[in-house]
Amino acid sequence: MLVMKFGGSSVADRTQLEKVFEIVKGLVDKKPVVISSAHKGMTDKLISAAKSAVKGDFSMPDVIDYQSEISASLGCPPDLLSNLFTEISDLLRGISLVKELSPRSLDYIASFGERMAVRSIADFFTRKGLKCQAFDVWDLGFITDSKFGDARPLPGFEKQVQKAFQEKVPADVIPIVTGFIGQNENGEITTVGRNGSDLTATLLGSALGAEEVEIWTDTDGVMSADPSVVPDAKNIPSMTFDEAAELAYFGSRVLHPSTLEPAMNAEIPVRVLNTNHPSHPGTVIGRQSMDGLNRVTSIAYKEGQTVFTLTTTRMLRRAGFLAQVFEVLGRYAVVVDMISTSEISVSFTTQSREALEKALPELKQYGECDMEHGKTMLVVVGNKLAKRRGQGSEILGALAQAGARVEMISFGMGSINFSMVVDDSAVDKAVPVLHKELFS
């Protein structure tokens, strides 16, 4: 069995879906399970409609017209999605009346993108000769907790998924399944987080014991840098789970940060492929890199960081001081990305600016506090990076050449990432020079 996830750009319109059809058709013998995102831009339109409705600005939403145009271009029956269109209108009307948009309602409205897409795609593919059936993922055993916006399947969901697939998916049918969404035990719709269809794919792949999970997107696999910043970025043929997880967390635009854990635990390889260039082998991610070399894999960056520094002589030789500081951060849900300490100071980066500002009065009890905004965490990721002699000097030398000022560094023992903090404005200059130094 093969699990294939197609992102929003891959299912954007009929032109793209013709490509997807040919890809799936060519792998019928692998018994594919297709996970689909919403059509490109649809989730944003749905959320925008909900935010307008909560302000009392409700009319028949543009999302219905947008979806109707796509479905009509696919030749779908006009009434295929009529029930969902009515449900969308009723929900938005209700939001406009109560003028409240709760996390639960936000997940509910966001779910329609995938639900409409799979029904249109399954109908289109079936008429073109591939017998397909649309499924909402919760009908296949994907029942989650109630953490709206960031839900996860309940423990033991794997057996429920296996049972549901055996009972509900005919042997001669290709299931087209909703990504991104789920349902809790009360029947309330949840989502696993934006861009979470990747996670749906690896969770189902793990539950079903798939031979591989394929993530189909619009790039030739994982690249050595962001192609929008480095036009000559190179494809990475293979990489480890650890490297890919680092890149996903630190800003890689290809994978969702939580995607890899289920596949890693089940030791199922994940392959990233290009819908527009299906003959390209893409990038395979597994327990070990295929080349096994100690080399730099990629450059990633995470913009919009706040750097917080706490300075005090009370830290000096005092056991438990940092534990007290981080207890405050934990209570205010401040997520720390990168940290550096000295005898009398601790600095860290976070994107949780609002939460940090709420924690600031308590943090000031421990010492002098300083915050700087508009920073980027720039990260070089590589297998056994610390074992390469002179690697640090190459990285810092490249940034000096680019005129970027490095304000903070983190490089742990045996680390696979070399992290630095620079100004947001330095990214466009620093990344191309760094890429040239490390990959040319």
> Binding-site residues for ATP, please?
5-8, 217-218
Residues annotated in a binding site: 5-8, 43, 114, 217-218
Q: For residue 175, which amino acid is it?
A: P
Residues annotated in a binding site for substrate: 43, 114
Q: Are strands 408-410 and 417-423 parallel, antiparallel or unpaired?
A: antiparallel
Q: Which structure tokens are listed for 127? A: 């008429």
Alpha-carbon torsion angle 270, 273, 278, 281, nearest 10 = -70
**How many whole angstroms separate alpha carbon 36 and alpha carbon 21?**
12
Which residues are bridge partners to 170 per DSSP? none
| CB count in 10 Å sphere of residue 203 | 30
Closest CA to 346 of 357, 332, 359, 336: 336
